[in-house]
Amino acid sequence: MVNTILDNVSHKTEEHEFYNSLPEGYNRGKTKFVIVYGTVMSGLGKGIFAGSLANLLQLKGLNTTLMKFDGYLNVDAGTLNPFRHGEVYVLDDGTESDMDLGTYERFLGKDLTKKNYLTGGKLFTQILSGERNGNYLGRDVQFIPHVTGEIKQFVRTLAMTSGADIVFIEVGGTVGDIENNYFLEAMRELIYEEGKENVCNVALTYILEPGFLGEQKSKAAQLGLRQLMGMGIQPDIIACRCDHEVVPKVREKISVSANVLVDRVVSLHDMPSIYLIPQLLEKARLDEQTIDLLGVRSRVRPHYEEKLRWEQYFRNIQIISKSVKIGITGKYTSLRDSYASIIKALEHAGTHLGVRVDLEWIDTTNLSKQDVAKALQSVDGIIVPGAFGSRGSEGKIHCIEYARTKQLPFLGLCYGFQMALIEFARNVCGLEDANTTEINPTTTHPVIDILPEQKKIDSLGGTMRLGGHDIDLKEGTSAYELYHNPVARERFRHRWECNPDYIEMFENKGIVFSGKAPGREIMQILELPQNVHPFFMGIQAHPEFKSRPLEPSPLYVGFLKAVIGLQGKK
């Protein structure tokens, strides 16, 4: 009955309390949905679970995509402090998103868009704008049906535009959070409208394992699951996060408490790499169970060749015996999620080259020139990551000088590219006052200056040079050799750049600008020749956002190759 009413109701209708959230041409049942919820606490790895299961189903020949809902009232993640929220991940279309979107892209090997990411701020901006434009035609705009209706519209629009067999929906936060209650209600309504046969609910929970007790406890998990069920959402699958494999007795307790078959209550315990999680889920037959729950067995067309590539990657992770140590010199080092994509890009490249990458976290906030040698004495190479603002900048410059003069492999990312030019200007070109106008607007040598198109912009959110852009590569350079192509595409997130007035000076003193923006004097990759330095390269972009397990970033591979080569000579 509800399906018939919903198909015929429109925004103009006041005869029903149903709000039409069906895009034109939407065919109910064509797309299936897997909705992933969190209980007990945040940070359980909902994105990793969703990406892993989507990966397995994709290898079965099913077209999958993922979306994330974040309840906070920011329009996007662009203005969020990495200390509070982890890194800001940038999509090719310029969307500044939650780091889980990076997890999705890496597991699926697909580029996602703004249609895969919804925040409370984006949602309410859209609703209030619509209200001002008269879209609701005199109705009092309410959470039900309008807010929940717009959420369902967003989900179904992604289903149509992606052509996916299965759309994975990750509900950010934890059941019980005020900020995501309306989204949970929207999911309950989606199940009601789509039909239970078209939706699979997955709940992640946490199994406590207090050291003073010496056993696993499930009561907190049971209470969290009961809270989800109290909102009208019955889980079909429960994934239990724990340090160690969840024992059968605990899984049985969860099964009875939540009315879920024990075979669908699975252990999601710690693994050496997140890329081993798909194997864990496959062993529990979650891919097969999801296929049966959603009734898509007839759509299965296994991709054997791609599966073999992933299985080889899994094996490579587990047989690595050699290691290198890389220093991450930044100011957000106390929160590893601030550099999540860098960590993953190093893992991808390291696995490709057969080495484990151990990380040394070096906080540059108060790092003096006298302390640099000691701070870097045990590392085989350094990465200077992206950032904004003055804190830690001088420490980064000291690290770059050490790497340049001591033949230590160096990779500068975005801000690291800019700091490398400042260091070179000061210590090679003799411009002692060289700086970026971001830090010192009155510097006499602004070797890094704001992009011309940025000078009239006052706001912060979504106003930088963002997203994927092509880079023209100079033939005969290391960058050209690494990309094996005259043009590379990388993702950017910056306002400042190399000041064109200083390009000739840098080149005369030995810097090679091996990549620039097509048709513009915007320098985007710098390097020192291999006969001068084993690997000294900076890029204005963030190549880590493009790195994938089966297709590691060329710059990260080149960087680690140089590290391994030097290590072999010691």
pLDDT exceeds 50 at position 198: yes
Q: Which residues pair with 32 in a beta bridge?
A: 166
For residues 418-425, give the mean pLDDT.
97
What b/e string do you get for 130-164 counting C-beta neighbours within 10 Å, with b at 16 or more? eeeeeebeeeeeeeebbbbbbbbbbbbebbbebeb
Residue 4's pLDDT is: 55
DSSP string, 544-560: GGG--SSS--HHHHHHH
User: Which pLDDT does position 457 carry in this prediction?
Assistant: 54
Question: Residue 199, SS3?
Answer: strand
Residue 242: how many CA atoms within 13 Å on its side-chain side?
A: 23
Mean pLDDT of 500-521: 95
Interacting residues of 324 by C-beta distance below 8 A, sequence separation 6+: 350, 355, 356, 357, 358, 380, 381, 560, 563, 564, 567
Amino acid 167: pLDDT: 98
The bridge status of strand 199-206 relative to strand 32-38 is parallel
Query: Exposed, middle or buried: residue 316 (CB in 10 Å: 0-12, 13-18, 19+)?
Result: middle
pLDDT at 220 over 90: yes
The helix, strand and coil proportions of the chain, stated in percent and rounded to the nearest 5, come to 45, 20, 35
Q: How much of the chain exceeds pLDDT 70, in percent?
A: 94
* Rounded Cα distance, 315 and 549, in Å: 13
Q: Is the pLDDT of residue 173 over 80?
A: yes
How many angstroms from the chain centroid is the CA of residue 425?
34
Cα 346 versus chain centre, distance: 15
pLDDT reading at 330 higher than 90: no
Mean pLDDT over 279-305 rounds to 96
Same fold for the domain at 2-310 and the one at 321-569?
yes
- Tokens representing 407 are 């033949």
Asked if residue 12 has pLDDT above 50, the reply is no
Q: What are the pLDDT digits (tens) for 373-408? A: 999 999 999 999 988 777 889 999 999 999 999 999
End-to-end CA distance of the chain: 75
Please tell me the distance from the alpha carbon of residue 335 to that of residue 86, in angstroms, as a whole number.
7
Q: What does the domain layout of the chain look like in residue ranges?
A: 2-310, 321-569
Q: What is the pLDDT of residue 229?
A: 96
pLDDT band at 134 (very low <50, low <70, confident <90, very high): confident
pLDDT for residue 85 is more than 80: no
Report helix, strand or coil for 355. Answer: strand
In CATH, the architecture of 321-569 is 3-Layer(aba) Sandwich (3.40)
Please determine, for residue 281, whether its predicted confidence score (pLDDT) is greater than 70. yes
Provide the β-strand partners of residue 37: 203
Judged on CB neighbours under 10 Å (0-12, 13-18, 19+), 506 is buried
- For 454-465, the pLDDT digits (tens) are 565 555 555 578
Catalytic residue among 414, 445, 497, 533: 414
Helix or strand (DSSP H, E) at 66: strand 64-70
By residue count, the chain amounts to 570
**At 203, which amino acid appears?**
A
The gap from C-alpha 499 to its chain's centroid, in whole angstroms, comes to 31
Other beta carbons less than 10 A from residue 304's beta carbon: 9
Residue pair 374/398 in contact (Cβ under 8 Å)? The answer is no
Pairing of strands 496-498, 445-450: antiparallel
What's the pLDDT at 3? Answer: 60
- Judge whether residue 286 has pLDDT over 80: yes
- pLDDT at position 42 is 86
What is the model's pLDDT at position 334? 64
Q: How far apart are CA 220 and CA 241, in angstroms?
A: 12
Q: Which amino acid is at 527?
A: E
Average pLDDT along the chain: 92
Mean pLDDT value of segment 550-565: 97
Q: What is the pLDDT of residues 93-108, one digit of tens each?
A: 999 999 999 999 999 9
Name the pLDDT band for 5 (thresholds 50, 70, 90). low
Q: 532 by DSSP, 3-state: which?
A: coil
What's phi and psi for 454, nearest 5 deg? -95, -15
Asked if the model's pLDDT at residue 484 lies above 50, the reply is yes
pTM of this structure: 0.92
Residue 269 is encoded by which pair of tokens? Answer: 């315990």
- 11 in active site: no
Burial-class residue 279 by CB neighbours within 10 Å (0-12, 13-18, 19+): middle
Q: Which of 96, 185, 497, 544 is catalytic?
A: 544
Model pLDDT, residue 11: 46
Smallest CA-to-CA distance from 229 within 269, 266, 191 is with 191
Place of tokens 């050699």: 322
Residue 520 binned pLDDT confidence (cut-offs 50, 70, 90): confident
- State the catalytic residue, choosing from 85, 146, 445, 542: 542
Does the annotation count 544 as an active-site position? Answer: yes
Contact present, 207 and 242 (Cβ < 8 Å): yes
444 by DSSP, 3-state: which?
coil
Give the CATH fold of the 2-310 domain: Rossmann fold (3.40.50)
Among the ranges given (264-273, 456-465, 550-559), the one the predictor scored with the smallest mean pLDDT:
456-465
State what percent of residues in the chain have pLDDT above 90: 79
Position 464 scores a pLDDT of: 72
Report yes or no: 206 and 242 within 8 Å, Cβ to Cβ: yes
> Using H for helix, E for strand and C for coil, what is the string for 200-250?
EEEEEEECECCCCCCCCECHHHHHHHHHHHHCCCCCCEEEEEECCCCCHHH
How many Å apart are CA 374 and CA 491, to the nearest integer?
34
SS (H, E, C) 505-523: HHHHCCCEEEEECCCCCCE
Does position 170 have pLDDT exceeding 90, yes or no?
A: yes
Residue 414 bears catalytic tag: yes
pLDDT of residue 13: 47
pLDDT digits (tens, 9 = 90+) for 36-74: 999 988 888 999 999 999 999 999 999 999 999 999 999
